[in-house]
Structure 1
Amino acid sequence: MKKISLATRLLAAATAAAVIAGTLALPAAAATAKPSVQASLDRLTRADGFVGAVLQVRDARGRSRTYTSGAAARGTGRPMVGGDARMRAASMTKPVVAAAVLDQVARGRLDLDEKVETYLPGLLGGREVTVRQLLQHTSGLPEYLDTIDWAKPGTPREQLRPVLAKEPLGKPGEKWAYSNTNYLVAGMLLGDDFRKVVESRILRPYGMRRTYWPAEGEMTIRGEHARNYGVSPVDPEGGVADVTDLPGHAFGAAGGLVSTPADLNTFWQRLPASTLKTMAGGTVPAGAPYGRYGLGVARVSTSCGGTVWMHDGGLTGVSVLSGRDGAGRAATVYVTGAADTPAENAHLLAAFDSAFCRHSGG
């Protein structure tokens, strides 16, 4: 078997958002068969082989209902954790960072249509990329995760440097192309300590009390959490293993947050209407099967005719979908394990769809 490098495995996992985001309206499972929320989760753990699944949906009044299926850890008989337990948010970090950038825009410290190099001279080697293009994935900046030495990830500037030697994915503004590099740079716009900016301007004011940035060198997830299972990036030939412990700090502004379903639902519901309007405005075609993408959010259609603004995330061992609809209802679903096949993706999306279309039927 061909040996897969650590960088390649982490790249594939961290870009899982590009596989999932925007496909909600497309799978036949979401559009035809409409199982209850519980049945949707049970299908994930019983038919698709995920160890655990949890979904929390919260209405506009703040009333929550949590559904679980499967186990929190293999071989223990311990039920799957609930909506207040922590998991790696992966690329659901991106809308949180986008909200922090827009907060700086509202405060007059950044301008969406100003060039990045106005604020960070020379950072992009003269590329005329704007702040908006970063958040929208239309910058043309190529992926950075496949150039990192994960034993010594380095600073964001050090992580960015090899990217500038790559061929651009396109001219700035030319087309949509998902790249974690966009949010690596977006974090840099918030300052050298972007984590503190996000914490002080978004996490704490919004009441996301259990969400945190992992410390440098921290591998574990704090507090109650499920174990995550997938192909280990350290030993890709060893098959599926426990991959709960990962270098979360190194994923940075593109995917480093640890959160909970309850906190992510809080994020969507506390997000100011003006901020969400900006994030949702000026969407661009993201290419089949992704739908349309705004500033850190994807627009998808539900099987019951609604619209949801959402993002997703994927790291080895976990997949998450989270968003809110026009009525103010928010939902987050995650599974311990990455969705690797079209059927598994469709079933995960169907569970998310059921939160908006079927949750009242339980």
Structure 2
Amino acid sequence: MKNNKFKSLRSAIIAILIFTLSLGGGLQAHAQVQKVPTAGIAINGKIVDGINPIIINGKYYLPFVQLSKILGYNNIKYEQGTGTYQITDGSTTVRMTMGGTRAKKSNEYINIEPPKWSNNTAFVSMNAAGALFNVYIYFKQENGSVQIQKPARKYVVQRGDTLWTISRAHHTTVQELKAANNLSTNLILIGQVLNIPGREKTHELEPIREKEPVPNDHHTKLKNQRQGVLNQAKKYIGAGYKFGATLADAPKLFDCSSFTQLVFQQNGITIPRVSRDQASKGTYVKELKAGDLMFFTNSDLYSDGRIGHVGIYMGDGSMIHASSSKGVSITENVLNNPYWGKNYLFSKRVIQ
């Protein structure tokens, strides 16, 4: 009898522990949560929306989904089984698990403060949001607003960070990071605010070395297939732009990579959803042919030098693409264009 009671008690304790662990990211019983009045949220000094922060144990947290949309990450998915959010703005896919201390941006891992649940809403700290979105966020006490510097020129050191992991995430070097902050040693502290090296010191070039093959189900000559991609792309000229657009938004709305993905798909070629992942496919080329993918950074959105845009080379010096300013359009003489020329990174050939 005693053994049965002991087994029942042990089973009950184990069940409680499993249930507690399944609530990863939930608030601890002793956590003090304080509601904050609706705050204006400003990007580079301009109020763009309102947001409802909370304070947990003295630290400001922001609702994750609302913040994602404000920053242009409109494609948001939630995996109930793992408690994982996956979001994209069309450039980068970000994965974050509730209660986790590491998140993933494309194929790179970053350290973050654990996201929390409160009232069935996911919240992230301002420091974690800065690391996830490549922005610098702080609360301005004078007027009760949330201020966002986009792209970030500063980075708040997270638990587990080293100068190497920070430099890797921002596509620069330890030497450049130390120089930008007048550091004589590799010692950094949690919460320390670092300056991010200037744009000319940050470039994401890793995908040049990647040569993953691209599935091609079209049974036509390569020349005809390249022309087919261009012909299909031209059909969408005039369509609008939406950050994180899905294929369900087509053909009225695209972002740069949903446009290239759909056009290639319609010609039997399967490429990934976001521009950073598309850049890992195919072969790096210097002499371009029609149908090659051209990749650019976007210094207006990202300070980490990441791939921020993709377009399709047309064979005559021009590029057809979905840009945030003009939607689907053609840019002539693209590499001599004052904006696109200075932001060009490299090109990859996937039709081969």
Q: TM-score, normalised by structure 1?
A: 0.26
Structure holding more helix per residue: 1
**Higher RCO (CA < 8 A, seq sep 6+):** 1
Q: TM-score, normalised by structure 2?
A: 0.27
Name the larger-Rg structure.
2
